[in-house]
Chains A and B, each alone.
Chain A
Amino acid sequence: MTEKTHSFRTDLNRARGIGSAKDGVGHWSKLRIAAIPMVPLFIYFLTQIDHLTTRNRAAFVEWLQEPVPAIAVILFIVCAFFHGSLGVEEIIIDYVPNEKYKIISLIVNKMFFLGLGFASIYAVLAISFGKI
């Protein structure tokens, strides 16, 4: 406290060092941009509900081999999982104060969505291109 009151630095100079993280707008807009396709995709999936809930694997595979369903499912995975990773990141930053656990959680979160995302896309492509 005494150190600060006797500082030769001006108030403006000190405030400049404290300022914002200069980062976050990108995170904010990516979160929203990835969310927008969810609206049309949800409506599309509602029209395809019989295909999505079928018990018949052959029928499901046949549906997923069509270009539009395959692209829609891949788009859903990309947008939803990316949006999810950003959202969970926000939760971690808000609720994990310990720097070490915070960084570990952030890495685990990225790996979780990257791993599941790539695996899901692989599964869709493998089905689409007839690797069944």
Chain B
Amino acid sequence: MSKIDRPLSPHVEIYKWPFPAILSISHRATGAGLALGAILVTVWLFAALSGDDAFALVQRFRESIIGRLMLFGWLFAFVYHLLNGVRHMRWDAGYGFDLKSTYRSGWIMVCGTVIISVLTWIIVR
């Protein structure tokens, strides 16, 4: 298959992203990130199973700067995905399809995500 440089019709990269589109792709991105987190859940549980040293190592890593950044990232992604998931369920039930409610639920979700993840982070510290 030879590739000819023909002009392409305008595609996503030349448009200014609408707010709901940013939220939509973020849902996917957070989901993909959370999927990788499955590895850490398994590592954590096995550390608890295998012994004091392994568990201490995991906890030390979690309390390091990189560990904290990662955990906050995952917490934020989890809360985002959870709340936006509820937003999706509402659409699935047939409510809130018009543009105005889409924007409103989007902002409620974003604010909720920031509030819940920051509050949770204060408890987790």
B15-48: CB near A (< 8 Å → 1, else 0) gives 0000000000000100110110011011001101
Instruction: Tell me if A57 and B35 are in contact (CB < 8 A).
Output: no
Chain B interface SS verdict (over half): helix
Say if the beta carbon of B120 comes within 8 Å of chain A. yes
Say if the beta carbon of B101 comes within 8 Å of chain A. no
Q: How far is the CA of A113 from the CA of B28 in the complex (A)?
A: 17
Q: How far is the CB of B78 from chain A (nearest CB, A)?
A: 7
B87-100: CB near A (< 8 Å → 1, else 0) gives 00100100000000
Instruction: Tell me if A112 and B42 are in contact (CB < 8 A).
Output: no
Chain A interface SS verdict (over half): helix
How many A-B residue pairs lie within 8 Å, measured between CB atoms?
Answer: 72
Size band of the interface chain B makes with A: 20 to 34
Instruction: Tell me if A46 and B120 are in contact (CB < 8 A).
Output: yes
Residues of A within 8 A of B120 (CB): 46, 49
Residues of A within 8 A of B49 (CB): 123, 126-127, 131-132
Instruction: Tell me if A60 and B55 are in contact (CB < 8 A).
Output: yes
Contacts A35-B85, A38-B82, A39-B82 given: A64-B48 contact, CB under 8 Å?
A: yes
Binding site for B on A (CB under 8 A): 32, 35-36, 38-39, 42, 46, 49, 53, 55, 57, 60-61, 64, 73, 77, 80-81, 84, 87-88, 91, 112-113, 116-117, 119-120, 123-124, 126-127, 131-132
